[in-house]
Amino acid sequence: MNLKFISATFLVIATAATALGLPLTDKHPIAEQQRQVSFGAASKEFGSSASAVSNMDTHYIFDMGAKGLPTLGDILARERSATIAIDAILRSEPLMRAINGDSEDFREGLTLLLPTNRAFSKLDSLPEDLESVMRRHFIPQIVTAQQMKRGAKANAYQKLAALQFTSSQDKIYVQADQRSPVEVRGAGSKARGGIYFLVDELFV
């Protein structure tokens, strides 16, 4: 993904949005917005096969034309409980490459501890460097639920946080540096080159 591609993609989005009467905003999506973004395994060929229906309560469009196993990006397109975090990921080229399985930094796999909208609702305002916060939720290796239960340790992307997993009463928790433990929810949705869980806290 180079700058020419990004510029061309944005032009296509802007043109389509204008034609459909959809607002473009640099703010993060909230429930009332109906912003639509296409991403996933086939997003490099923007708009070639993505299904889109205007005026529906859909923030992200699942790319029905993706070939082979779905990427993490394809699966996240259907995750409605974390639209703010997903929007932040889409604004970051390195993180977007990671969820689409197109990053050398994540050649050993990706475990994403995806913060939900509930996590953001606990803040008075969004962090100024939201991308840096999101990077703390990306682990450049696969950590399964079973490994987490056995007390796995891992470093976040670029070693921005040291993560320690524990379990208690069939629940999994993660502690980022010296912060309080946070429950890790979900069995882990797997995709090509990645796996993700949900957390209701931000590692800030």
Q: Is the pTM for the entire model greater than 0.85?
A: no
Read off φ and ψ for residue 152, nearest 5 degrees.
-60, 150
| CB-based contact 111:142 (threshold 8 Å) | yes
| CA atoms of 122 and 127, how far apart (whole Å) | 12
| CB-based contact 200:115 (threshold 8 Å) | yes
Work out the mean pLDDT of the chain and round it to a whole number.
Answer: 76
The predicted model gives 160-181 an average pLDDT of: 96
| CB-based contact 61:48 (threshold 8 Å) | no
Ranges assigned E (strand) in 19-144: 37-39, 60-62, 110-115, 138-139
What tens digit of pLDDT does each residue of 2-16 get?
544 444 444 444 443
Instruction: Examine the pLDDT at 27 and tell me if it is beyond 70.
Output: no
Which residue did the predictor score with more confidence, 71 or 18? 71
Beta-carbon contacts of residue 28 (< 8 Å; ≥ 6 apart)? 84, 87, 88, 120, 126, 130
Read off φ and ψ for residue 105, nearest 5 degrees.
-65, -20
What tens digit of pLDDT does each residue of 95-149 get?
999 999 999 999 999 999 999 999 999 999 988 899 999 999 999 999 999 999 9
Share of the chain above pLDDT 70, in %: 67
Give the H/E segment covering residue 10: helix 3-20
Question: For the chain, how far is it from start to end, CA to CA, in angstroms?
Answer: 29
Instruction: Examine the pLDDT at 196 and tell me if it is beyond 70.
Output: yes
Among 62, 53, 61, residue whose Cα is nearest residue 37: 61
pLDDT of residue 68: 67
Instruction: Examine the pLDDT at 80 and tell me if it is beyond 70.
Output: yes
